[in-house]
Chain A
């Protein structure tokens, strides 16, 4: 997994609450058997005026000029600001793959849905929770071309001379800073799992079919 240590980047706004993963990456693009190729379809029904299908490139599409991510001011943004409960709905990790491939490495919102939040940490995308009032303020200033600097080590989002600190579970922080592989970490405890399994099989033998 890609590590996340620091990021300085342009901010783009998505001024909606309860943005669900069906909006982040619509179902017609979930048929791929790969982890890549989703960026072109991020927020597809909002970014484009026509109905897209897998394989189409943005050049072939009718761009929705009104949508924030299509406005010239936000091109090249790597930080997305959003409202409450971002990433609700389906567990599709494709949502995070699409955000990342499009160029976002951090999403800042007052709250996130659980599964999406967890999926971010599997892909080196940092979800940051900040108070709604701070986010209101970011939304007010984003049109002027807002650049934020995020430092995961110190857990701070710096905005000119203002700094906002954010909370993050130590384990997730460590994993992001080092880009560690979850499976390797768990397999280091393989003996513990095997020992548990022996007892578990004795206690609930009906759970084992072999």
Chain B
């Protein structure tokens, strides 16, 4: 069959096109909708009010994550002291039961952050279209799945029709050559990419991460990378299927078995961009030049290498950028020219859909080296991404290492990434955080977030400030 070379995004899109409307919009079929307690109640209510059924019950999977407490989990619902949060978690439970949706409920060992749970269960598969009322749905793109965050009205639309009405985005290639230095991770890479592209640099595009450095990344690393695509403005990020993808999926509970597995694998291996496929935009990054990154501002694009300094708004040519930088430095209480390695932290958060998988916890634990959390660090939280990650970390002895060093070992949830549960940053506190957003107040009212990798966060906990972990072995 001769046809134009296609990008990976083009292929997944074409395989899900139900129809094209006269106005140019596509009716795009959705294979999986992930649900959590915050953005689904209004959608379920909408269905009930209109007396509409779920189009396909088996295409939905739910778990509470955003506002579940990470301490006292064994209490279940009774552990949620915030009545409004409790109502939301209970409402998810009721809705799942009423509509027959599979849910990993609060006491299920498989409960966790939706974007950790989906891949872990093998519910996320290559070539799928996946949606969730959460912008970090882009995480699942690591599996060559077209995964996008949507608003609650669209959640309801997918519930009722199994489709999204969408205009196709453009293709953006982020080529990453070479190899990351020791101590430099997918998190540093994606922060460096966002720093280069800017927070709106990929708006209207689907990013495909390509090149040697991406092929070397584990699935965990690829998830971290795709997770933050939205921070560069892209609704979705993708990585092509290779042996790493296939090996990760094999044997997962939701993955196909036997003959069906062989059939699926044959198809999945076609999920790569064709030679000669045309991208609308492209950048190339040399992985070997990426230093461990630390965000200094209030937008993920405001990042610098650990060996750099806080920028000076007065030397910026663009007036809006200078103003944004000045506002950010004021909020963060940082000085132009201040060395990144001189920023002290009093809180540490290791967790979130960006960095709460087993590999992240291993990398963080490796930085402890027999040390203790610094005296002026009042709290260092480790929040595994799922109950299963937690159990594995405990089996590997990581939990013990964290606790002995003075970290708190918690149960799975979104936790202080957005502070909807009791885990919140205090006013004026600087936090080394493995999460994805350093927006004003994101982790707690008046809190100051510095986005870093799990290894950098753990090292910051021990040293009380950011240090260059390259060469530490």
User: Interface with B: A12-20, A98-106, A149-157, which one?
Assistant: A12-20
User: Interface with A: B16-24, B237-245, B350-358, which one?
Assistant: B16-24
Whose C-beta in chain B lies nearest to the C-beta of A182?
A: B157
Residue among A32, A114, A204, A210 making CB contact with B235, cutoff 8 Å: A114
- A27-B420, A88-B233, A189-B19 known; A183 and B91 CB under 8 Å? no
In the complex, how many angstroms separate the beta carbon of B41 from the nearest chain A beta carbon? Answer: 4
Q: Is the CB of B151 within 8 A of A34?
A: no
Of residues 45 through 69 on chain B, the ones whose CB sits less than 8 Å from some CB of chain A are 45, 50, 52, 55-58, 66-67
Q: Is the CB of A17 within 8 A of B84?
A: no
B-contact 0/1 string along A166-210, CB 8 Å cutoff: 000111001000000011011101101100110010011111111
Q: Is the CB of B441 within 8 A of A17?
A: no
Interface status of B195 (Cβ within 8 A of chain A): no
Interface status of B437 (Cβ within 8 A of chain A): yes
A105 to B254: give the CA distance in the assembly, Å.
44
Interface status of B85 (Cβ within 8 A of chain A): yes
Interface status of B183 (Cβ within 8 A of chain A): no
User: Interface with B: A68-76, A115-123, A140-148, which one?
Assistant: A115-123
Of residues 1 through 57 on chain A, the ones whose CB sits less than 8 Å from some CB of chain B are 15-18, 20, 22-23, 26-28, 30-35, 45, 51, 54
- A85-B199, A88-B233, A91-B149 known; A31 and B127 CB under 8 Å? no
A96 to B152: give the CA distance in the assembly, Å.
11
Q: Interface residues of B toward A: which range?
A: 35 or more
A22 to B449: give the CA distance in the assembly, Å.
14
Which residues of chain B are within 8 angstroms of A207 by Cβ–Cβ distance? 31-32, 125, 128
User: Interface with A: B158-166, B207-215, B375-383, which one?
Assistant: B158-166
Interface status of A78 (Cβ within 8 A of chain B): no
- A20-B439, A91-B39 known; A186 and B27 CB under 8 Å? yes
Q: Is the CB of A111 within 8 A of B203?
A: yes
Q: Is the CB of B52 within 8 A of A28?
A: no
- A83-B320, A192-B19, A197-B29 known; A22 and B441 CB under 8 Å? yes
- A31-B38, A85-B200, A91-B39 known; A115 and B420 CB under 8 Å? no
- A22-B437, A207-B128 known; A183 and B160 CB under 8 Å? yes
Which residues of chain B are within 8 angstroms of A30 by Cβ–Cβ distance? 38, 66, 420
Q: Is the CB of A122 within 8 A of B151?
A: yes
Main secondary structure of the interface of B (DSSP, over half): loop
Q: Is the CB of A122 within 8 A of B260?
A: no
Residue among A54, A113, A169, A187 making CB contact with B160, cutoff 8 Å: A187
- A90-B135, A193-B162 known; A45 and B441 CB under 8 Å? yes
A35 to B160: give the CA distance in the assembly, Å.
18
- A93-B151, A111-B200 known; A17 and B320 CB under 8 Å? yes
A16 to B299: give the CA distance in the assembly, Å.
12
Which residues of chain B are within 8 angstroms of A123 by Cβ–Cβ distance? 153
A95 to B267: give the CA distance in the assembly, Å.
40
Which residues of chain B are within 8 angstroms of A17 by Cβ–Cβ distance? 320-321, 323-324
In the complex, how many angstroms separate the beta carbon of A56 from the nearest chain B beta carbon? Answer: 13
Q: Which 5 A-B pairs have the closest CB atoms?
A: A171-B23, A122-B153, A93-B151, A33-B41, A206-B256
Chain B interface (Cβ < 8 Å from any Cβ of A): 15-16, 18-19, 21, 23-25, 27, 29, 31-32, 38-39, 41-42, 45, 50, 52, 55-58, 66-67, 82, 84-85, 87-88, 91, 125, 127-128, 133-135, 149-154, 156-157, 160-163, 165, 167, 199-200, 203-204, 230, 233, 235, 254-256, 260-261, 263-264, 267, 299, 320-321, 323-324, 327, 418-420, 427, 437, 439-442, 445-446
Interface CB pairs A-B, < 8 A, 6? A91-B135, A170-B24, A183-B157, A186-B161, A203-B15, A210-B57
Interface contacts beyond A18-B299, A27-B442, A89-B135: sample of 9 additional A-B pairs, CB < 8 Å, sorted by A? A20-B439, A22-B437, A22-B440, A33-B91, A84-B200, A113-B233, A169-B23, A186-B165, A206-B263
Chain A interface (Cβ < 8 Å from any Cβ of B): 15-18, 20, 22-23, 26-28, 30-35, 45, 51, 54, 83-85, 88-94, 96, 111, 113-115, 118-119, 122-123, 169-171, 174, 182-183, 185-187, 189-190, 192-193, 196-197, 200, 203-210
